[in-house]
């Protein structure tokens, strides 16, 4: 079977799998967040931390919960790394440097999983399991909680309560992420992913030399790494490592895992607002963008310029067991979500495909986006699209029965513009510093892309690396840490403000001037808004980097 | 890493973190006034 046919069959199988779980899983998540009943373990947790699960919160209280929980998470994760020599199963690995520890703590708490360290050399099992894996679950649950709070803003009427953050957080972990990642970990084990608490295995090479192959609790980390769109691997090579991703089946399953929650959350949205076509329109926008990105990247990698063309494709930086189709399928899915796991080196992609992975992140990660962040990201863009329709064709600016006035549009604009500001200011500052050139493996357009990709990945909480750039200096650790922190929470605050404002409004009935938002035309408008915002914001930067390289 | 360097670096990065969250709290207050 040739590569193209095998790739097309994999894409088809992936779509069939997602289609099969779309309705049941999406509806299940809707029930999780709308149920009046607490599970026994949840009730016990609420009593333990003295949370009144029955009381709703105003949006500033909900937001304070998000910030407080995340602040404590970062401090605890920082301390775990700094005190690593005192912890069991550390295998003699020392205290993590302060700049790296803070960068990593912010990275995993913000669902970014940017890794400036080599996991198998720097971290032991306790930090991996009690620190990073825990954050993989709870940071994903935070994103889902914020998305659900925004949906409640549309659903509720005449109230200032948008839900209870602690309840949403707990339910996301207990009812969705933990059980499904447990099942996924078992399936990954069956596919050949390793799972061990040993430091490593001593082996003798064919030349008689002694080696130690590092081992890690891989399968348990791998499952939530993909399901929670986190992306931080237990090995530096991430999902290109055979222990994390041994074969084509595990590769396809990991892609399925990283797409499944963001895709099915559109069904959850449609179910909660009482009109599933609303969710279907958003899913179709996500799907078209994802498909277009996949097509361009696939074509670019199979039609490279230069010497790679002779080899019938750009195989540098790719695993032979995956080949081009399964590599770009993973690459487009990991950058379209906020996962950031990689099974191939994006730095080695051709200018066109590398540009696609970068653009996918710069679109704001809405194709289909991260766990929770994808849904609230595209809903914010839908708000802007409705507002633009009002300006262009005189429709009344209302979405799902809620009027979009100054407060709502201002909050949406803050949510959208925070990320470009961080990416462009961060990249500009880094490029202006003389030491940055020494941190790059390449000069010219490709070197610029490496810096742009780093800040795009951090500010969008993606976490994938273009590689080719050394980010262990205090400047990069700190600047990227700040980009991750503000890139995560400024939009979240704005989204919660939007939710609070929408929930306070009374529902208005659709009139003759109301834009139909459950029709394909609205999907075109939302897709156009996504592309337009990204193009207007990032075209000059993209022209200096991947576009210049692709046209050279 | 020198023995005396560790606490200073920890304090500096703690200040960076607190500063980052202070910006976020200001952002929250600003959004409340919309």
State pLDDT tens for residues A302-351: 988 766 666 667 888 999 999 999 999 999 999 999 999 999 999 889 88
Instruction: Say how far residue A29 (Cα) sits from the centre of its chain.
Output: 19
* pLDDT for position A393: 83
* pLDDT for position A371: 97
Give the minimum alpha-carbon distance from A494 to chain B in angstroms, rounded to a whole number: 7
CB-based contact, B20 to chain A, within 8 Å: yes
Any idea what the Cα angle at residue A312 is, between residues A367 and A450, rounded to 5°?
A: 45
Contact A517, A399 (CB under 8 A): yes
* pLDDT for position A455: 97
Contact assignment for A98 to B31 by CB distance below 8 Å: no
Contact assignment for B27 to A493 by CB distance below 8 Å: yes
Task: Count the alpha carbons within 13 Å of A305 in the hemisphere toward its beta carbon.
Answer: 8
Residues of chain A in contact with residue B32, where contact means CB-CB under 8 angstroms, are 60, 497
Residue count of chain B, please give it.
34
How high is the ipTM of this complex? Answer: 0.94
Name the residue among B9, B20, B34 with its Cβ closest to that of A485: B20
Name the residue among A78, A414, A482 with its Cβ closest to that of B20: A482
CB-based contact, B2 to chain A, within 8 Å: no
pTM here is 0.96
Kind of pairing between the strands at A398-399 and A402-403: antiparallel
How many Cβ atoms from other residues are within 10 Å of residue A320's Cβ? 6
**Alpha helices, H only, A156-236:** 165-171, 178-191, 218-227
- CA torsion angle for A441, A444, A445, A450 (degrees, to 10)? 30
Name the residue among B1, B21, B23 with its Cβ closest to that of A71: B21
Percentage of chain A exceeding pLDDT 70: 99
For residue A486, which of A414, A406, A407, A544 has the smallest C-alpha distance? A414
Instruction: Say how far residue A225 (Cα) sits from the centre of its chain.
Output: 10
Contact assignment for B24 to A478 by CB distance below 8 Å: no
Which residue numbers in chain A have pLDDT < 50?
none
Strand runs (DSSP E) across A372-499, as ranges?
A: 398-399, 402-403
* pLDDT for position B2: 47
Give the minimum alpha-carbon distance from A411 to chain B in angstroms, rounded to a whole number: 7
d(CA A360, CA A332): 7
Give the minimum alpha-carbon distance from B24 to chain A in angstroms, rounded to a whole number: 7
d(CA A474, CA A487): 19
* pLDDT for position B7: 83
Contact assignment for B24 to A67 by CB distance below 8 Å: yes
What is the tens place of the pLDDT at every residue in B1-34?
A: 445 455 899 999 999 999 999 999 999 999 999 8
Residue from A102, A116, A422, A487 to probe the interface with B (highest B Cβ count within 10 Å)? A102
Closest chain B residue by Cα to residue A106:
B17
d(CA A463, CA A341): 7
Closest chain A residue by Cα to residue B15:
A102
Name the residue among B17, B23, B34 with its Cβ closest to that of A411: B34
The 3-state secondary structure of A303-325, one letter per residue: CCCHHHHCCCCCCCCECCCCHHH
Instruction: Say how far residue A509 (Cα) sits from the centre of its chain.
Output: 35
For residue A113, which of A98, A135, A146 has the smallest C-alpha distance? A135
d(CA A381, CA A386): 9
Q: What is the three-class DSSP state of A214?
A: strand
């Amino acid at each position: 079977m040739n590569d193209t046919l095998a790739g097309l069959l994999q894409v088809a199988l992936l779509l069939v799998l997602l289609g099969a779980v779309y309705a049941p899983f999406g509806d299940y998540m809707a029930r999780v967040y709308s149920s009046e009943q607490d599970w026994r373990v949840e009730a016990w947790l609420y009593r333990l931390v003295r949370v009144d699960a029955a009381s709703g919160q105003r949006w500033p209280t909900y937001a304070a919960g998000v910030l407080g929980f995340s602040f404590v998470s970062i401090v605890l994760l920082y301390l775990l790394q700094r005190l690593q020599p005192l912890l069991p199963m550390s295998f003699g690995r020392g205290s993590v440097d302060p700049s790296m520890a803070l960068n990593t703590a912010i990275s995993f708490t913000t669902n970014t999983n940017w890794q400036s360290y080599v996991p198998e050399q720097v971290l032991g099992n306790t930090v991996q399991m009690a620190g990073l894996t825990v954050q993989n679950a709870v940071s994903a649950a935070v994103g889902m909680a914020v998305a659900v709070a925004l949906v409640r803003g549309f659903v509720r009427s005449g109230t200032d309560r948008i839900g209870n953050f602690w309840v949403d957080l707990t339910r996301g972990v207990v009812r969705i992420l933990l059980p499904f990642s447990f099942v996924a970990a078992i399936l990954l084990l069956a596919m050949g992913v390793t799972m061990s608490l040993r430091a490593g295995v001593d082996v003798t090479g064919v030349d008689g030399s002694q080696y130690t192959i590092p081992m890690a609790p891989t399968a348990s980390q791998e499952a939530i790494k993909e399901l929670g769109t986190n992306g931080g691997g237990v090995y530096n090579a991430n999902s290109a490592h055979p222990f994390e991703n041994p074969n084509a089946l595990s590769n396809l399953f990991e892609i399925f895992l990283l797409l499944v929650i963001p895709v099915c959350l559109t069904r959850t949205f449609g179910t909660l607002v009482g009109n599933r076509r609303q969710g279907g329109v958003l899913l179709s926008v996500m799907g078209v963008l994802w498909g277009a990105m996949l097509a361009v990247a696939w074509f670019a990698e199979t039609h490279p310029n230069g010497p790679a063309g002779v080899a019938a494709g750009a195989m540098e930086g790719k695993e032979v067991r995956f080949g081009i189709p399964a590599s770009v399928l993973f690459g487009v899915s990991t950058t379209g979500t906020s996962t950031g796991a990689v099974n191939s080196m994006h730095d080695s992609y051709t200018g066109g495909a590398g540009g696609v992975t970068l653009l996918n992140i710069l679109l704001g990660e809405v194709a289909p986006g991260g766990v929770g962040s994808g849904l609230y990201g595209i809903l914010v863009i839908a708000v802007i699209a409705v507002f633009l329709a009002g300006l262009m064709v005189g429709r009344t600016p209302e979405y799902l029965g809620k009027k979009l006035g100054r407060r709502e549009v201002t909050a949406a604009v803050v949510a959208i513009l925070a990320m470009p500001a961080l990416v462009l200011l961060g990249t500009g500052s880094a490029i202006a510093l003389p030491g940055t050139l020494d941190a790059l493996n390449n000069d010219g357009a490709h070197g610029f892309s490496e810096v742009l990709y780093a800040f795009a990945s951090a500010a969008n909480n993606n976490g994938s690396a273009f590689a080719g750039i050394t980010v262990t200096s205090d400047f990069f650790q700190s600047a990227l840490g700040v980009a991750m922190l503000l890139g995560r929470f400024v939009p979240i605050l704005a989204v919660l403000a939007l939710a609070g404002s929408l929930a306070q409004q009374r529902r208005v009935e659709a009139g003759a001037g109301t834009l139909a938002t459950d029709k394909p035309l609205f999907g075109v408008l939302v897709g156009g808004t996504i592309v337009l915002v990204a193009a207007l914001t990032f075209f000059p930067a993209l022209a200096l980097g991947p576009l210049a390289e692709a046209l050279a | 890493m020198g023995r005396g360097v560790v606490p200073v670096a920890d304090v500096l990065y703690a200040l960076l973190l607190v500063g980052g969250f202070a910006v976020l709290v200001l952002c929250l207050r600003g959004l409340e006034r919309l």
